[in-house]
Amino acid sequence: MSVKTEKTYRSAIAGAVHEMMRDAHDAGVVSRATMRSFDAACLAPAPMLAGEDIRSIREREQVSQPVFAAYLNVSRNLVSDWERGVKRPGGPALRLLSIIQRKGLEAVT
- 11-70 pLDDT, tens digit per residue, is 888 888 888 999 999 999 999 999 888 887 887 777 789 999 999 999 999 999 999 999
Please give the residue range of the domain that contains residue 63.
Answer: 51-108
C-alpha of 69 from chain center? 14
Looking at the structure, do residues 55 and 104 belong to the same domain, yes or no? Answer: yes
Looking at the structure, do residues 10 and 58 belong to the same domain, yes or no? Answer: no
Domain count, the chain: 2
Residue 8 CB coordination number (10 Å):
15
pLDDT tens per residue, range 75-92 = 999 999 999 999 999 888
Looking at the structure, do residues 61 and 100 belong to the same domain, yes or no? Answer: yes
Is the pLDDT confidence value at 3 over 60?
Answer: no
Per-residue confidence band for 97, with pLDDT thresholds at 50, 70 and 90: very high
Looking at the structure, do residues 57 and 100 belong to the same domain, yes or no? Answer: yes
Residue 13 CB coordination number (10 Å):
10
Listed in sequence order, the residues at least 6 apart from 48 whose beta carbon sits closer than 8 Å to its beta carbon are: 88, 94
Looking at the structure, do residues 84 and 60 belong to the same domain, yes or no? Answer: yes
**Cβ(99)–Cβ(107) below 8 Å:** yes
Per-residue confidence band for 7, with pLDDT thresholds at 50, 70 and 90: low
pLDDT of residue 18: 87
**Cβ(79)–Cβ(58) below 8 Å:** yes
Looking at the structure, do residues 58 and 103 belong to the same domain, yes or no? Answer: yes
Looking at the structure, do residues 36 and 15 belong to the same domain, yes or no? Answer: yes
Looking at the structure, do residues 22 and 60 belong to the same domain, yes or no? Answer: no
Report the CATH number that the domain containing residue 100 is assigned in CATH.
Answer: 1.10.260.40
